[in-house]
A and B are shown apart, each in its own frame.
Chain A
Amino acid sequence: MDTLALEATQPKKAQNGAVAAAPGPPTPAKRKPAKKTKKAVVFFEVEILDAKTKDKLCFLDKVGKILPSFSLHGKSLKDEDVLQHLPVGTTATFYFRDLGAQISWVTVFLTEYAGPLLIYLMFYFRVPFIYAPKYDFTTSKHWVVHLACMCHSFHYVKRLLETLFVHRFSHGTMPLRNIFKNCTYYWGFAAWMAYYINHPLYTPPTYGEQQIRLALTVFLFCQIGNFSIHIALRNLRPPGSKTRKIPYPTKNPFTWIFLLVSCPNYTYELGSWLGFTLMTQCLPVAFFTLVGFIQMTVWAKGKHRSYLKEFRDYPTLRSPILPFIL
C-alpha cells in the first residue's frame, strides 16, 4: 500500500481516506518557503480517515513537510503544494480521491501512435488476408499511394519522436481506460483509411499532379508549423517544471500564428490532415479529419478558456483554433 501520499518526495495516487492534520506547535501561516537554516521546525500530526466511513486508518504523530496530492475544501491540490503554506488553521481535513488505475501519458501516446504507423504499413505492403490473394505483397501502380504512405508514416514518426523528446507533460498519468478508447480511435481509423488508399482499385485524385502537389505543400507546411509550435510550447517551460505562461510568437515565422490563435498546434494539425485528404481524395480520410477537428476544437476551446481565466492580460485578438472564426 504505497498509496499514502505522505512522503516528501513523489506523492503517489492515494486511497480513499481523509487526513486531519494538526500541527504541533502552532505557527503562523507563512507564505515564503522555509529556509534551510531555520531552527524552528514545524511538525504536524496527521490522522488519516476513510472519506466515507470516517474510520481512523492511520495516525502519524510527527510529519515534516508533506506534499499531499489530494483535495482540500473541494478544490484539488497540486503535487507541489506544501501543507505549511496552505490556507488552513491548526487542523485541516483532506480528502483522498482514488483516481483508479492510471497509466502514464507517454505510454499512451507511444502506443496510440505506433499502431497507425505499423497498421498503415501492413496495408501498404498488402500483407495477406486483407485484399484478394492475387494482390498479396504487390505494390500500387499509383505514385500518389507511395507518397501518401511516406506522409502518413512521417507524421506518426514525428509524433513518436515528439512524445519522447519534445513534449513536457503537465500530468504524469491518465486513467487506464483511456488507452483502450484512444487506441481504438487511432488504430481503427488508420486501418479504415489505409484499406482504401492502398486498395488495388484505388482511384487517384481527379485533378492529378496539380492536386497532389498542392496537397503535399499544405501538408508539409503544416507539419513544420505543428512542430514549430510544439518546440515553442516546450521552450515556455523549463525542464522538470510545470510553469504556465502565455505563448507568444517567436522569431520562427510559423509561430506568428500565435497572434491570432490560442492553440495553433491544432490549427496546423487540421491543416495537415486537410492536405492529406486532398492528396488521397479519400472519404474516410475526410471523415477522420472532421472527427479530429471536432475533438481538437473542444480541446482548444477549453484551453482558451483556461488561458483567459488564468491570465488577466491574455491577448484579446486570439481565437481558440481558427483565426476569427472558432
Chain B
Amino acid sequence: MASGEEDGTVEEKETNNKKRTKGTIATAWLTFYNIAMTAGWLVLAVAMVRYYLQKGTHKGLYRNIARTLKFFQTFALLEVGHCAIGIVRTSVIVTGVQVCSRIFMVWFVTNSIRQIQNEESVILFVVVWTITEITRYSFYTFNLLNHLPYFIKWARYNMFIVMYPLGVIGELLTIHASLPYVRRSGMYSLRLPNKYNVSFDYYYFLIIVMLSYIPCKNSTHNKTS
C-alpha cells in the first residue's frame, strides 16, 4: 500500500539520522578523550623533565608525579568501555588485558610498595609509558581529525620496537625489586585458617605474574594499539 511504503522510508530516514548523530557524538567524544589523554601524558612528561632538571636526581620523582600518573592511567579504563559499546573497533578482552596490566603496575605495585618508588626501573617504565601514550593518543586524535602527520604515524609503528621491550624490562625489574618487601610485610595475603578455607600469597602471585610476562607480552600486545 502506498501509505505503508511512505512510512517505511520515513522510518528508514529516521534510523539513518539516528545512526549519523550517534556517529558524530561518538567521534566528538573520542576526539575529546584522545586530546585530553595526549595533554595529560604531555603534562606528565613536562613534570618529569622539570623535576629532573631542578633536582638533578630521579629520587622523589615518582612521588612528585604519582597523582597525575594514577589519574590518567586509571582514566584509560574508559577505553574498555569504548570497545564494549562499539565506538572503537578493538576487542574488549585485548584492551581490557592491556589496561588491567597497567592499572596493576600503578596501583598494586608502585603505589602500594613505597620502598621501591625510587628505583631506576620505575623511572624506566614511566618514561617508556609516557612516550608511548603520547604517541598513541596523538595518533588517534589526528586520525579522528583526518590529518595524520607522517612522523606520528612513523612513531606509532616504529617506536614500540624499542619502547616495548624497555617497558617490559622496567616493569619486571620493579616487580622483582618489590618482592623482598612483599614477603616481609605479608601484604595483600590471606593465611589459613579462615572460615572461607582459602589462602592467597601475594609474594608467589607476583612471581607468577612475572613468569606470565613471557607468554602474555609476546602475544596480543604485538598485534594491537
Q: State the A residues within 8 Å of B (CB).
A: 196-197, 199, 201-203, 206, 280-284
Contact = CB atoms under 8 A, between A and B. Distances in A.
B196 interface: yes
B198 A282 contact: yes
A203 B196 CA distance: 8
Contacts of B193: 201-203
B208 to A, nearest CB: 13
Contacts, number: 29
B224 interface: no
Interface in B41-70: none
A57 B222 CA distance: 40
19 contacts: A196-B192, A196-B198, A197-B197, A199-B192, A199-B197, A201-B192, A201-B193, A202-B197, A203-B194, A203-B195, A203-B197, A206-B195, A281-B197, A282-B196, A282-B197, A283-B196, A283-B197, A284-B197, A284-B198
Contacts of A282: 196-198
B192 A283 contact: no
B18 to A, nearest CB: 29
B199 interface: yes
Contacts of A196: 192, 197-199
B100 to A, nearest CB: 19
- Which applies to chain A's interface (DSSP): helix, strand, loop or mixed? loop
A201 B196 CA distance: 11
A142 B194 CA distance: 15
Contacts of B195: 203, 206, 281
A196 B197 CA distance: 6
Contacts of A203: 193-195, 197
- Which applies to chain B's interface (DSSP): helix, strand, loop or mixed? loop
Contacts of A199: 192, 197
A215 to B, nearest CB: 14
A282 B194 CA distance: 10
A199 B197 CA distance: 9
A140 to B, nearest CB: 12
Contacts of A202: 192-193, 197
A155 B199 CA distance: 26
A74 to B, nearest CB: 26
A212 B198 CA distance: 19
Interface in B193-219: 193-199
Contacts of A283: 196-198
A312 B81 CA distance: 39
Interface in B6-47: none
Contacts of A201: 192-193
A221 to B, nearest CB: 24
Contacts of B192: 196, 199, 201-202
A199 B194 CA distance: 12
Given A199-B192, A203-B193, 6 more contacts: A203-B197, A206-B195, A281-B196, A282-B197, A283-B197, A284-B198
B39 to A, nearest CB: 40
Nearest to A202: B197
A201 B197 CA distance: 8
Nearest to A280: B197
A206 B199 CA distance: 18
Closest 8 interchain pairs by CB? A283-B198, A201-B192, A201-B193, A282-B197, A283-B196, A196-B197, A203-B193, A203-B195
Contacts of B196: 281-283
A283 B196 CA distance: 5
